[in-house]
Amino acid sequence: MSLLAEEQAYRTIKDMILRAELPPGARLVHRKLAAELGMSPIPVVLALRLLEQDGLVANVPGLGARVRSWNRAELADLYGIRAVHESYAARLCAERSTRVDLAQIEMANELYIECWNSGNRPAAIEADVQFHRALVRGAHCAYLENLLENLSIIQLSMNMLVLKTRMTVTPTKVTPLMLHIPLVEALKKHDTKTAETLAREHVLEGLDETLNSFQ
């Protein structure tokens, strides 16, 4: 077995989960997945262990591996944790970010706006995650970056599932854009208090949308 096979299995299964092709609760039978991916079962087993560390897979005793499911209380906790840490990251970013950091944040936001306005919701969701990753990188705090990365992965999974279950959502909705733009302006002005407040509001608005989608 090569490390390349394990990495390939990890990336492929992860992408299937993130795009809701494998929905929450779906069984992950390693031999079946291995046959579909055209590889031996061992790298698939190792990939599932990595995905469990990411929080995307749960190993249920007697039932085996499944795509992680989330109840409303767990989702509220997830977003609450992210709101606290990402708002602090935004505060640090407003304080510490360089011109290069701000340029990367603006580029990510421009891509997000372009995808959103064109109606390409899956690409907009991915661009939104990249925007938030750029913001966290601008905080120059490795601990926060590592902490929030797993939350970003889970967030991407949830957002893709929301998209799949709510196809009636119009791509012209402007609320996310209205929150991104003033946040970028606050970061550029090094306004720590406003950046912190807007980041928290943005995350918690995402919680409301997600909970409404899973009623």
Q: What is the CATH number of the domain that holds 33?
A: 1.10.10.10
Is residue 190 within 8 Å of 95, Cβ to Cβ? yes
Alpha helix (H) residue ranges in 39-191: 41-54, 72-96, 99-117, 121-137, 142-165, 175-188
Is residue 65 within 8 Å of 26, Cβ to Cβ? no
Same domain, 79 and 26: no
Q: Which two tokens stand for residue 88?
A: 């602090």
The burial class, CB within 10 Å (0-12 / 13-18 / 19+), for 214 is middle
Closest CA to 126 of 139, 145, 137, 111: 111
Q: Cα–Cα distance between 186 and 198 in angstroms, integer?
A: 9
Same domain, 89 and 185: yes
CATH of the domain at 102: 1.20.120.530
Same domain, 79 and 172: yes
The answer on pLDDT for 169 being more than 50 is no
Q: What is the pLDDT of residues 178-204, one digit of tens each?
A: 678 999 999 999 999 999 999 999 888
Mean pLDDT of 169-186: 69
Q: What is the pLDDT of residues 5-52, one digit of tens each?
A: 899 999 999 888 887 788 888 999 999 999 999 999 999 999 999 999
Same domain, 88 and 54: no
What domain range includes position 193?
Answer: 72-213
SS3 11: helix
The answer on pLDDT for 134 being more than 90 is yes
The answer on pLDDT for 152 being more than 80 is no
Residue 110 amino acid letter = E
Same domain, 89 and 193: yes
Last residue of a domain, one of 43, 67, 91: 67
Same domain, 59 and 85: no
Same domain, 48 and 15: yes
Q: What is the pLDDT of residue 60?
A: 82
Q: Which two tokens stand for residue 104?
A: 């990367």
**Neighbour tally for 141: CB within 10 Å:** 18
List Cα–Cα distances, 24 to 1, 12, 161, in angstroms.
Answer: 29, 16, 9
Residue 5 amino acid letter = A
**HSE-CB of 97 using CA atoms within 13 angstroms:** 30
Last residue of a domain, one of 18, 39, 67: 67
Per the structure, the count of domains in the chain is 2
Same domain, 63 and 111: no
Band of residue 174 on the pLDDT scale cut at 50, 70, 90: very low
Same domain, 181 and 197: yes
- pTM above the 0.85 mark? no
Q: What is the pLDDT of residue 209?
A: 74
